[in-house]
Copies of this chain bind each other. A is one copy, B any other.
Amino acid sequence: MLALAGIPLGLSFRFLDPSSDACAADVGELVVAPYDDPDGLERLADGAAAVTYEFENVPVAAGERVGTIPGIRSLEEGQDRLREKELFRSLGIPTARFGSLAETGVPALVKTRRLGYDGKGQRRVDDARAPLDDGELAEELVHFDRELSIIGVRGIDGEMRFWPVGENVHRDGILRVTRAPADARQGDAERICAAVLESLGHVGVLAVELFDVGGRLLANELAPRVHNTGHWTIDGAETSQFENHVRAILGLPLGSTAATGRCVMVNLIGAIPPLRELLTLPGAHVHLYGKEPRAGRKVGHVTLVDPDEAIADRLVALAG
């Protein structure tokens, strides 16, 4: 999606991926190598105006070697749930309690500090004496009213822009639906995102997931990259998160982040409904990723702009 946004700006793309069937091969040159392979990294960066990442679990040493934008600091913080939360705390951003089970109380969520995503690597713990592994972190189980996310972009010159907050619905730990603009505390959310962007000296797009607890926002996680809860911006914002990320890392002027309508973005997970049925939905903007379906895998998304609720319901039902 970064390439689809950047090609119209006259850019060409090269990708590094450990898998030879990476879907990015359709929109650029694919270098197949492990993320930390020196040759692969050299071929990736050869002649590139900028090297970026859309996956925060790239090894820091690899990022350092090719001089990614955003920089290493964003990668380091974004790889480690504990460091993320310590960053929030250091910036005075409210979070749920975290640390040891003694610090959080029970019930708590215990998560791996690294490499967890889509609900993987986390479990609920009800016994305060349960042992935690070295690489684990406990989080207070928050009874939130809803989950939100704020996505911002920061340019090389420090200019920042923010898309309207989205409201997210997860199932089994996996994002199902984002609705944006959410009726939410936009200003509070922007202040949180701005503090993170500035503290990291981040250049590019960054997302912060938030809990709304009675109108008070708690920061949950950050992602130093384009984010699934911002996919609606392709069809529903003046400038998508993908285009603005590309603009930012190349030092180009940022585009407007205003929404063009009320959006409903629905993930396609584990299976692709018949294309014919998706395209029959009035106003459906279909985005398939060219990935082989398997259980729990995000294989595409569909966005509706200013839909009738009945159409949005049909889409959610189709998505399974």
Q: Judging by beta carbons under 8 Å apart, are A275 and B252 in contact?
A: yes
Q: Judging by beta carbons under 8 Å apart, are B10 and A300 in contact?
A: yes
Q: Known: A4-B4, A28-B26. Contact between A10 and B275, CB under 8 A? A: yes
Of the residues B275, B282, B287, contact of A256 by C-beta under 8 Å = B282
A280: nearest chain-B partner, CB-CB:
B253
On chain B, the residues within 8 Å of A26 by CB distance are: 7, 12, 27-28
The reply to whether the CB of A260 lies closer than 8 angstroms to some CB of chain B is yes
Q: 9 closest Cβ contacts across the A-B interface?
A: A10-B288, A8-B287, A253-B279, A253-B280, A252-B279, A9-B286, A7-B26, A27-B27, A12-B26
The reply to whether the CB of A283 lies closer than 8 angstroms to some CB of chain B is yes
A260: nearest chain-B partner, CB-CB:
B260
The reply to whether the CB of A40 lies closer than 8 angstroms to some CB of chain B is no
Interface flags for A240-252 (1: CB within 8 Å of B; 0: not) read: 0000000100001
On chain B, the residues within 8 Å of A260 by CB distance are: 260
A285: nearest chain-B partner, CB-CB:
B8
Copies in the complex: 2
The reply to whether the CB of A94 lies closer than 8 angstroms to some CB of chain B is no
Measured between alpha carbons, how far is A302 from B162 in the docked complex, in Å?
A: 24
On chain B, the residues within 8 Å of A276 by CB distance are: 252-253
Q: Judging by beta carbons under 8 Å apart, are A256 and B279 in contact?
A: no
Measured between alpha carbons, how far is A238 from B303 in the docked complex, in Å?
A: 12
Question: Shortest CB–CB separation between residue A29 and chain B, in angstroms?
Answer: 9
Q: Judging by beta carbons under 8 Å apart, are B4 and A272 in contact?
A: no
Interface flags for A258-280 (1: CB within 8 Å of B; 0: not) read: 00100000000000100110011
Question: Shortest CB–CB separation between residue A204 and chain B, in angstroms?
Answer: 16
Q: Judging by beta carbons under 8 Å apart, are A10 and B279 in contact?
A: no
Q: Judging by beta carbons under 8 Å apart, are B279 and A247 in contact?
A: yes
Measured between alpha carbons, how far is A279 from B272 in the docked complex, in Å?
A: 36
The reply to whether the CB of A18 lies closer than 8 angstroms to some CB of chain B is no
